[in-house]
Structures are given as structure tokens and as C-alpha cells.
């Protein structure tokens, strides 16, 4: 699934609860993802991140931001 956000369509900071396991490939822009532990993961263009289901995170975007998401459990 492709997703793109811009300053006109998204707030700069937004909650993102992972409803299912998700692998993210950043195509454009960057994002800082704050995890429940307080750790922040930075993903920029070309980076990949994998996140578990039921993880509540907060995202801070550098726009424009485009990602490709893969949901591995959907293929099971």
C-alpha cells in the first residue's frame, strides 16, 4: 500500500497506532517514530522499518512524505 502526506493534508505530528504488523519503506521525506519506550526511530529515504501489531507510536514528518507499507500477516 502506498501512502503520501503533505503539509496540506496531514499535521506535522500525528499518532499512529499499528493495528497490524507493518513493514515500511520510505520513498520520500523522513519520519521520526516515537515508540512507547520513549525511543525514537528515524527513517529517511531508502530506509526500512518493521513494527509489531498493537504498538502505539507518534510520528513527526518531514514533508512531502511517501511510504510503501507491507502487511506480512495479510499474506498468511
pLDDT tens sequence across 48-74: 999 999 999 999 999 999 999 999 987
**DSSP assignment of 23-65, as one string?**
EEEEEEEEEEEE-TTS-EEEEETT-EEEE-TTEEEEEEEEEEE
Backbone phi and psi for residue 73, each to the nearest 5 degrees, phi listed first = -70, -20
pLDDT of residue 76: 56
Q: What are phi and psi of 31, to 5 degrees?
A: -150, 140
- How open is the CA angle 39-21-56, to the nearest 5 degrees? 40
pTM of model > 0.85: yes
Domain coordinates of the chain in residue numbers? 2-75
Q: Where on the phi/psi map is residue 38: left (φ > 0), alpha (ψ -120 to 50), or beta?
A: left
CATH superfamily membership of 2-75: Jelly Rolls (2.60.120.10)
Amino acid at each position: 500500500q502506498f501512502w503520501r502526506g503533505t503539509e496540506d493534508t496531514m499535521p506535522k505530528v500525528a499518532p499512529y497506532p499499528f493495528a497490524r504488523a507493518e513493514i515500511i519503506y520510505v520513498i520520500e521525506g523522513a519520519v521520526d517514530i516515537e515508540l512507547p519506550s520513549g525511543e525514537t526511530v528515524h527513517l529517511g529515504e531508502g530506509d526500512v522499518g518493521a513494527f509489531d501489531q498493537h504498538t502505539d507510536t507518534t510520528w513527526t514528518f518531514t514533508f512531502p512524505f511517501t511510504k510503501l507499507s507491507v502487511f506480512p500477516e495479510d499474506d498468511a
